[in-house]
Chains A and B, each alone.
Chain A
Amino acid sequence: NAGVTQNPKFQVLKTGQSMTLQCAQDMNHNSMYWYRQDPGMGLRLIYYSASEGTTDKGEVPNGYNVSRLNKREFSLRLESAAPSQTSVYFCASSQWTGWWNIQYFGAGTRLSVL
């Protein structure tokens, strides 16, 4: 059981380049999330998708776009990468129970922007 799969695991970009981080889950969850993790700051929510066809901004959405391609896949796009976007990115998914949810995480993508 793969759970939440992220690709790539590592990436180095030059300032101004674009890229898409891929995320797929095989748990039939309805909700998916993108976080970034920076030293001393925990995990901060970038965007989330409560259900297929919907996306909403989180705490730090500037500089990012997302696409909920289908129920399984949720991608994060950096249109013009900046050094401030150097971070570890995590995708997560959950099944909304009605009043709470448990989020399951992928292994992360370490991104460096030079």
Chain B
Amino acid sequence: AQTVTQSQPEMSVQEAETVTLSCTYDTSENNYYLFWYKQPPSRQMILVIRQEAYKQQNATENRFSVNFQKAAKSFSLKISDSQLGDTAMYFCAFGGSGTYKYIFGTGTRLKVLA
């Protein structure tokens, strides 16, 4: 069975600095996809970035980028130029090829300090 581990329950970063959130996963599959979702205090789950396992190039969306290490089964999220609006809970999620279901990590609570 697949598992997703986020080992940092809480993190903080100064505004305008860079922070990296860690995620590791375990799977025997070769084709899969990974996601980072953001959950601000409003509770709405917002897709931040996604990565297909067959792609070697790391995904980037504006200030958000990932470091995808397939052999190490690691999928970290880097937030550059952190903003107060980035304060949220961040969830890493695994989706297996051919399955509808996601496996979520337990989340990392990020606080951006002014």
Contact = CB atoms under 8 A, between A and B. Distances in A.
Interface of A: 31, 33, 40-45, 48, 50, 58, 88, 90, 92, 94, 96, 99-105, 107-108, 110
Contacts of B97: 99-100
B106 A42 contact: yes
Given A104-B47, A107-B43, A99 B101 contact: no
A99 B43 CA distance: 29
B8 interface: no
A48 B101 contact: yes
B33 interface: yes
A42 B104 CA distance: 6
Nearest to B45: A105
A100 B44 contact: no
Contacts of A103: 102
A26 B98 CA distance: 24
A77 B100 CA distance: 22
B22 to A, nearest CB: 15
B88 to A, nearest CB: 14
A31 to B, nearest CB: 5
B30 interface: no
B50 to A, nearest CB: 7
Nearest to A43: B104
B54 to A, nearest CB: 10
A100 B101 CA distance: 10
Contacts of B58: none
Sort A-B residue pairs by CB-CB distance and give the 9 closest, nearest first: A105-B45, A42-B104, A43-B104, A42-B106, A108-B43, A99-B97, A107-B44, A100-B33, A31-B100
A100 B34 CA distance: 10
A88 B41 CA distance: 13
Contacts of A43: 91, 102, 104
Contacts of A90: 45
11 contacts: A42-B105, A44-B104, A48-B100, A58-B101, A92-B45, A99-B98, A100-B97, A101-B100, A103-B102, A107-B44, A108-B45
